[in-house]
Structure 1
């Protein structure tokens, strides 16, 4: 859990502009992106000091000062919580964070909860308290990774969508055999290399993928690293990964390992989604008959 916490904290800083664009459609017109962002982690720790001897679970939290396009020094605060288990006190904790942050800064606060647990029934969106005619209600943005469409995430050009896709894969890995997870992780790496992102973001996203989706098997870790090295060494500098794979397929046909990887991905989509054969075929870049054949074998 501590490693996951560190990974989330790092990736949120590496692609924070993309986080804003992912959740707020008008982010570029609303925020002065060129002014950068101020991460207030130390200030947040001072507001919520921890006891080194306390064995209670830690939480991923970020507080960021974001400047507005309105000019001058106008700014708001973005509070982010990444929650990995179905804690019944989570909504209450979100409110207490809001209350203390508001007391210290007296500035508008937008709060986002990213829920990375596997419990379909856990989706807190508000904290409410009532007493003798007095009512308090605090509502925050709540985003459940488990509910997301992996195809739409893969199609998105926003780097933060690839972070969510990685987290979605990690949530589902307990249902899959290690071999299947290995091929899915390799497919994610191929997909990521095909995106036209800046190199620092590619590097940050790839590190997140490598460390966040885990096998618990050193042999599989080594195989993944070897396959990743092959991909990065074979990829021409002027060609995206998808174009490279298609060109090579036309020249010499798909290698047996690539056929297996595609079949595993297709089977995962058949198993985990209600997509039609046509949609899955379009995503995988294969004839619809191939999808239908794999679906028939499953039934």
Structure 2
């Protein structure tokens, strides 16, 4: 297992502007094992993922990045336990704009020496550039002054260097995250094209085998939020994918109904409306306690969340949990 520290708390996904740094932080946190398998399979093979995660407090690292400004990049520090019993520290830096500035190598070195100086741990550093453009300048940090020389190199991965066709064929889960990042830039201001890419990618992810439902759900959420669509297109996409979403609902990890991604929020709205109409057809009157319970039972049979049912019916969570035991 890994212990992961998010250096900046990710903001809610439910925002009008795509919060790329928050999305990348969360998807790496949710899929760190898959991240490592995709970018560093040799290192992945040496990590003992059976060890219990040890989540570190954010405040411990606050001073490490005290000069960081803006939201152009996202960072993770991960402590992993190796199969030989040793601990390693992994620094993951995501440059979400993809166009590394002149100070980028120096910033990567600064992260390294601050962590090393404070904690004296062996560190593996990754820089992932998510933008569409090519970066020609060297990304290692070099210092030389009157005989004092320093060369600092780190792992660099550019999303633009990966072939889309290869990512489509790959069964590794993080390949779909990179595909979404590619589509994000390719479909900017091209809603129709984004709709087609998003629908195809979502269906591919839902059909993937050999991965946990938690992992599948994490990728699905990343795609849904990164590839935002106009409201009408979101509704159309949801209606087109109703069959897949209904099939997946029983397997997917439940999320807070107040923070659903756009497609799933629209799906829940459609399902709720259908349940309400079913209740009306059956002559359910909301003022009756028995009718409320009947309605709650109908929603439980459709696998709605307990908290969500409580909001719709006015029944307490405890009452609904009792009804759930009856089922």
Q: TM-score, normalised by structure 1?
A: 0.70
Alignment partners' CA distance in 2, 1:214 and 1:119 = 21
**Contact 1:37 1:67 (C-alpha < 8 Å) held by counterparts:** no
Q: 1:224 aligns with which of 224, 233, 237?
A: 237
2:79 is aligned with 1:62:
no
Name structure 1 gaps, 5 residues minimum: 239-299
SS of 1:35 mapped into structure 2: coil
Q: How does 1:16-95 map onto structure 2 within 5 Å?
A: 16-40=32-56, 42=58, 43-49=60-66, 56-57=70-71, 59-71=73-85, 74-85=86-97, 86=99, 87-95=101-109
Q: Which of these residues, 152, 155, 173, is aligned with residue 141 of structure 1?
A: 155
CA RMSD of aligned residues (A): 2.5
The 1:165/1:39 distance shift into structure 2, 3 A limit, reads farther
Query: What is aligned with 2:26?
Result: 10
Q: 1:131 aligns with which of 145, 157, 170?
A: 145
Q: Which runs of 5+ in 2 are unaligned?
A: 1-16, 252-327
Aligned pair count reads: 231
The Cα shift of 1:136 comes to 1.0
What does residue range 185-196 of structure 1 map to in structure 2 within 5 Å?
185-196=198-209
Partner of 2:135: helix, strand, or coil? coil
TM-score for both structures, normalised by structure 2: 0.65
Change (3 A) 1:224 1:57: same
* 1:268 matched residue in structure 2: none
Per-residue CA distance 1:160-195 (angstroms, 9 max, x = gap): 111111112112222x73111101100001111110
Take 1:80 and 1:128, find their aligned partners in 2: how far apart are those partners?
A: 20
**1:125 aligned counterpart, secondary structure:** coil
Cα deviation code 1:46-76 (max 9, x no counterpart)? 322369xx6x4452000000011002xx111
Instruction: Check if 1:181 corresponds to 2:194.
Output: yes
- Shift in Å at residue 38 of structure 1? 4.0
Deviation larger for 61-70 or 23-32: 23-32
Distance 1:121 1:49, change over 3 A: closer
Is residue 209 from structure 1 mapped to residue 223 from structure 2 by the alignment? yes
Deviation, 1:236, is 12
Quote how far apart the aligned CAs of 1:237 are.
Answer: 9.2
CA displacement, residues 231-276 of structure 1 (integer Å, 9 cap, x when unaligned): 22367999xxxxxxxxxxxxxxxxxxxxxxxxxxxxxxxxxxxxxx
- Find the counterpart in structure 1 of residue 131 from structure 2: 117
Residue number in structure 1 paired with 2:299? none
Deviation at 1:89, TM superposition (A): 1.3
Aligned residues of 1:90 and 1:124 also touching (Cα < 8 A) = no
Q: Secondary structure at the match of 2:228?
A: coil
> How much has 1:218 moved relative to structure 2?
1.9
Distance 1:161 1:25 in 2: 13
* Whole-angstrom CA distance in 2 between matches of 1:152 and 1:134: 44
Q: Cα gap change, 1:124/1:115 in structure 2, threshold over 3 Å: closer, same or farther?
A: farther
Give 3-state SS (helix, strand or coil) of 1:152's partner: helix
Shift of 1:204: 0.8
Which structure has more helix as a fraction of its residues?
1
Displacement of 1:8: 0.9
Q: In the TM superposition, what whole-angstrom CA distance separates every residue of 1:110-168 from its partner, at most 9, and x where no partner exists? A: 00011012221356530111111221111011100012111211222221111111112
